[in-house]
Amino acid sequence: MDDMKGRFFEYIDGLRPGLTEMADEIFDNPETGYSERRASALLASYLSDAGFSVEFGEGGLETAFRAVYDHGPGGPSIGLLCEYDAIEGLGHACAHHIQGPAMAGAAAAVKELLRGKPYRLVVYGTPAEETGGGKIDMLEHGSFKDIDVALMCHGSPTTTTDVRCLAMSSFRVSFRGVNSHAAICPEAGRSALDAVLLACQGVEFLREHVEDGTRMHYTILDSGGPENVVPQDASARFALRSYDRYSLDSAIDRFKKIIEGAACMTETTYAIHEERRFDSKIPVLSLNDILMKNASLVKAPCIRPPREHTGSTDFGNVMYVVPGSCIRIAFVPEGTPSHSQAYLDAGKSPQAHDAVVMAAKIMAATVFDLVCGEGVMARVKCEFASKKNAVGSSRDAGDGSAAVS
C-alpha cells in the first residue's frame, strides 16, 4: 500500500510547478462569492486537460462546477470539494486559493495511477463559502447526492481535522410602528426602535437559559431616523448558533417568541426573514484518522489533535447528509488568526506552496485508502449512519441531547 502511495507522492511532486502557479494566479486575482469566474475556469480547465468531464453551473450557480472521472462501474464515489472565493476587501486571507489546486492535483494523480478497482472521482467547485454558503444552494439543487464521501482541505496554523462545527441560523427582523414628533405628540407614536431594543434585551436574558455551547449575536441595521422623531421602521440582524441543530432549533423557537413579545409591548408589527441556515456536521472520526495518518506519512508540519469546536461552515451542511472530513494544513505560525493580514502575507510563501502539494498528497492517499483499503469505506459509512441515527433518536425523544462527538 505504501508503495502505491509513494507513486502518488512522486507524481504530485512532478505537478508542483503547475499547482503552485495556479494557486498564485488565484491568489493574485481574488474574486468574492458567486463571482469567481477566473478561478473556477482555471481549475475546470486543468481538470478537463487531465481527462475529467466538466460541467459548469452545478447546483444552479454560475461559478460552480462538477468534474467527473469514472473508472469502471460499481465502485465507491469519492467527492473532492474545493472553495476559491476571497474575502471582500482582504483577498485570500483565508487561504481558499490553496484548495482548488490541491484537489486538482490529487484528482489528476489518482486518475493517472489508480488501477485495478472501480471508482468514481467527483471534483466539486463550490463558490461563496465566505459570503453566502454556496454549498447550501448546491445541496438544495441536488448536488453531492452522487458521492459516498466528501473530502476537503484548508490552509491553517496547524495540521489537524475538526470534530464539531456550529450550526447557525441568521435572521433579519424588521419592526413597523407609527412615527410622530417625539416632543410635541410622543403619545401618538409607536416606536419600531423600542421594539428592536426590547428584542435585543430579550436575547440577553435568554442567554442564561440555553444549553452550553449556544451562541447569540445581534446588530442594529436601521434605527429609524433622527432622535426627535418616533421611528416608524427599524431593523436588526440576529445570529443564533449551537453545536447541535436540534438544540439550536429549540432556542430559535424561544427567540421568535421574544420578537413577538417585543412587538406586542410596543404595539408594532414585525417580519422575520431567515437569511441562512448552516447545519452542524456529523463527525466521522474514522475518516479524520485516515486523513491524519496520511498527513503523518507526508510529514506535514505542526500536527495537532483534532479541533473539538469550530465556527459555522456550509461544509457542515454537506457533512450532515454524507460522510465527510476536512484536513487542515499548516502554512502560517501556530496561533495566527484566519481572515488576517498575516494569512494574506503568507499566501504565496514557500510554506503555502508546500501546503498545496502536501494537501494533494494527503487527498490522493486518502482516496486510495477508501477505494482499496479492506472494509475502510464500509466502516466510514457505518459510523456516519450510526451517529446520524443517534441524532434522529434524540430528536424523536425530545430531550435535546442530540450532540455527537
pLDDT digits (tens, 9 = 90+) for 285-339: 999 999 999 999 999 999 999 998 788 999 999 999 999 999 999 999 999 999 9
pLDDT at 144 > cutoff 90: yes
Confidence label for 352 from pLDDT (cuts 50, 70 and 90): very high
pLDDT of residue 403: 37
pLDDT of residue 390: 84
Stretch 91-120: mean pLDDT, rounded? 97
pLDDT of residue 402: 36
All residues at 6 or more sequence positions from 142 whose CB lies less than 8 Å from its CB, including other chains: 59
> Integer distance in angstroms from the first to the last C-alpha of the chain?
30
Enumerate the CATH 3.40.630.10 domain ranges in the chain, comma separated: 2-165+280-391
Q: What is the mean pLDDT of the chain?
A: 94
Stretch 99-114: mean pLDDT, rounded? 98
pLDDT at 398 > cutoff 60: no
Stretch 137-142: mean pLDDT, rounded? 96
Architecture of domain 2-165+280-391: 3-Layer(aba) Sandwich (3.40)
pLDDT at 186 > cutoff 60: yes
pLDDT of residue 78: 98
CA separation for the pair 31, 199 (Å, rounded): 36
Determine how many CB atoms are found less than 10 A away from the CB of residue 222: 15
The angle formed by the CA atoms of residues 114, 116 and 118, to the nearest 5 degrees, is 85
The DSSP output letter for 373 is S
Topology (CATH) of 167-277: Alpha-Beta Plaits (3.30.70)
Determine how many CB atoms are found less than 10 A away from the CB of residue 263: 22
Residue pair 78/147 in contact (Cβ under 8 Å)? The answer is yes
Could you tell me the CA-to-CA distances from 117 to 67, 71, 122, 367, 373 in Å, in that order? 20, 8, 16, 12, 11
Residue 333 has φ and ψ, to the nearest 5°, of: -60, 145
pLDDT at 392 > cutoff 70: no
Stretch 70-86: mean pLDDT, rounded? 97
pLDDT at 405 > cutoff 70: no
Confidence label for 393 from pLDDT (cuts 50, 70 and 90): low
Confidence label for 396 from pLDDT (cuts 50, 70 and 90): low
CA separation for the pair 158, 304 (Å, rounded): 6
Helix-helix angle 245-266:376-397, to 10 degrees: 40
Confidence label for 109 from pLDDT (cuts 50, 70 and 90): very high
**For residues 205 and 245, which has the higher predicted lDDT (pLDDT)?**
205
Enumerate the CATH 3.30.70.360 domain ranges in the chain, comma separated: 167-277
Cell of 130: 465566505
Name the β-bridge partners of 310. Answer: 165
* % pLDDT > 70, the chain: 96
**Can you count the helices (H) and strands (E) in the chain?**
11, 14
pLDDT of residue 400: 39
pLDDT at 101 > cutoff 50: yes
